[in-house]
């Protein structure tokens, strides 16, 4: 599916939206693989992250478990495509680590990190 996706157009639309809505003071855009980008963030430093990476069981679980420590207490993680069976282990991991499910929209979910 992805080999035919117009990814350059998606990127252009994203950049145009951030520019048009004057969001550059609020957005940090990294064009990196998820595994390569995670080391650039301190623990408890992310207010909101939208995870929509590779949908294999192993990579989805790795993305969620590597980025969850980076979310600050009270911060949010949006998990995309949560209706995919391959994401089940990642969602179970979030449930098991105390993530608070604040919204389930069938194809995506919002989790909040508890404030300790």
Judged against a pLDDT cut of 90, whether residue 2 lies above it is answered with: no
Q: Locate the DSSP E strands across the chain.
A: 46-51, 71-80, 100-104, 108-112
Find the Cα–Cα–Cα–Cα dihedral 109, 103, 98, 30, rounded to 10°: 40
The tally of CA atoms less than 13 A away on the side-chain side of residue 69 is 9
Percentage of the chain surpassing pLDDT 70? 97
Q: What does DSSP say about strands 46-51 and 71-80: parallel, antiparallel, or unpaired?
A: parallel
Give the distance, in angstroms, between the CA of residue 44 and the centroid of all CA atoms in the same chain.
Answer: 15
Percentage of the chain surpassing pLDDT 90? 76
pLDDT digits (tens, 9 = 90+) for 52-82: 888 899 999 999 999 999 999 999 999 999 9
């Amino acid at each position: 599916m992805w080999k035919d996706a117009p990814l350059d157009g998606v990127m252009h639309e994203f950049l145009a939206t951030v520019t048009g809505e004057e969001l550059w003071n609020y957005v940090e855009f990294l064009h990196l693989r998820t595994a390569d980008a995670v080391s650039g963030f301190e623990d408890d430093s992310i207010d909101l992250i939208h995870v929509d990476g590779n949908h294999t069981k192993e990579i989805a679980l790795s993305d969620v478990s590597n980025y969850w420590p980076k979310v600050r207490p009270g911060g949010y993680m949006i998990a995309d495509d949560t209706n995919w069976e391959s994401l089940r282990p990642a969602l179970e991991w979030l449930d098991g680590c105390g993530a608070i499910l604040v919204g389930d929209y069938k194809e995506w979910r919002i989790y909040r990190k508890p404030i300790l």
